[in-house]
Amino acid sequence: MSRTRVAVLISGRGSNMAALIEAAKRADYPAEIALVVSNVPDAGGLATASAAGIATTTVDHRAFGKDRAAFERALQDVLVQHRIELVCLAGFMRLLTPWFVAQWPQRMLNIHPALLPSFKGLDTHRRALEAGVKLHGATVHFVVPEMDSGPIVAQGAVPVHDQDTEAALAARVLAVEHRIYPLALRLVAEGRVSVAGNRCRIAKAAAPHTALIVPLD
């Protein structure tokens, strides 16, 4: 089986990257993590990827000053050199320009720690607690020029407990992230995801018949 070559872009420890690497170890998984790229030379995830036998490299954004275009051209060159077919953002803390996004139409995924379109941007868990929502979660979506706005491939929800702290809620959401990112990548690599407008349609997908209701009586 020919597997889709994937690059994971990180800026830190890369826990979602590690989940993708673990999923890709399975012989029947349709994607291989061929490269991990960081914009931070000492990002912890680089060591994790190297220990798993995956090629790593750094494109340090600081070397380019305020020239975002030059940084992104260097990043694009690395991806092309490694024959990358899909890109996964996993805690990559750089806003990407429309030019770079246009190089990867429906071929770049991001994971966001909220149920989009709610709570775009940063501090999602704090904002969810302040808003008093009873359900929170994570979203995998295609990247478009507008931040946290692309077609949604997969979502996972968790209950918000009355006694939750920001850290406790974040940990519960992170466990869901580690489940839905490998799922979403698999669906895209298998060619089962098509985009109509701003909606993703998943071929041969079974919809769950249960509802997550909070609180329980």
Angle, nearest 10°, between helix axes 15-24 and 44-51? Answer: 10
For this structure, is 82 an active site residue?
A: no
| C-alpha span between 182 and 8 (Å, rounded) | 12
Q: Which backbone phi and psi does 108 adopt, to 5 degrees?
A: -135, 125
Angle, nearest 10°, between helix axes 166-189 and 124-131? Answer: 120
| C-alpha span between 56 and 49 (Å, rounded) | 7
Annotated active-site residue in 61, 112, 136, 141: 112
The continuous run of DSSP H or E covering 136 comes out as: strand 135-142
Task: State the Cα torsion 15-92-148-102 to the nearest 10°.
Answer: -130
Asked if 141 contacts 178 with a C-beta cutoff of 8 angstroms, the reply is no
Phi-psi region of 200 (alpha: psi -120 to 50; beta: other; left: phi over 0): beta
Query: Which active-site residues does the annotation give?
Result: 112
